[in-house]
Amino acid sequence: DAKTTQPTSMDCAEGRAANLPCNHSTISGNEYVYWYRQIHSQGPQYIIHGLKNNETNEMASLIITEDRKSSTLILPHATLRDTAVYYCIVRVAGIQGAQKLVFGQGTRLTINP
C-alpha cells in the first residue's frame, strides 16, 4: 500500500471549514483514499473514501487532485466534537477478507472555540 504524509497537527476555529491535506505521491491506479478519525479514547471512525472523483457525504468532502498524488479532507463547519486525530490511508480495495488498514501518525486536529 502507498505511503501517506500528513501534517502532525492543525488548528481550526469552530464554525470554519477545516481542510486536512494528505500526500500520497506513490499511489497506484487501483488504490483508494480512505479517511478515518479517532476521537480521544474511542475507536477509529470511518469518514469517507474516494478513488478519482471528489466525494461528499454527511460528514465531510474529499477532494482528490487530478494526478491523485494528494487529497484534502474538508469538514465544512467544524465543531468542537470534530477535535480528533485524522488518518489518511491508501489501499487497494476488494480483496476478499484482506482489508487491513495501515495507520500512520495522522493529523491531530484541534477545533478552538
Partner 1 sequence: DTAVSQTPKYLVTQMGNDKSIKCEQNLGHDTMYWYKQDSKKFLKIMFSYNNKELIINETVPNRFSPKSPDKAHLNLHINSLELGDSAVYFCASSYGTSGRIDTQYFGPGTRLTVL
* Distance between start and end Cα atoms, the chain: 37
From 13, 17, 80, 101, residue interacting with partner 1 (rule: CB under 8 A): 101
- What mask, x for binding partner 1 by CB under 8 A, covers residues 7 to 46? -------------------------x-----x--xxxxxx
Q: Whose Cβ is closer to partner 1: residue 38's or residue 72's?
A: 38
Distance CA 43, CA 48 (A): 16
Q: Residue 109 and residue 47: Cα distance in Å, rounded?
A: 14
Q: Between residues 21 and 49, which has the closer beta carbon with respect to partner 1?
A: 49
103 lines the binding site for partner 1 (CB under 8 A): yes
How far apart CA 108 and CA 38 sit, in angstroms, is: 9
What are phi and psi for residue 3, nearest 5 degrees? -85, 150
Can you give the binding site for partner 1, defined by CB under 8 A? 32, 38, 41-46, 49, 85, 93-103, 105
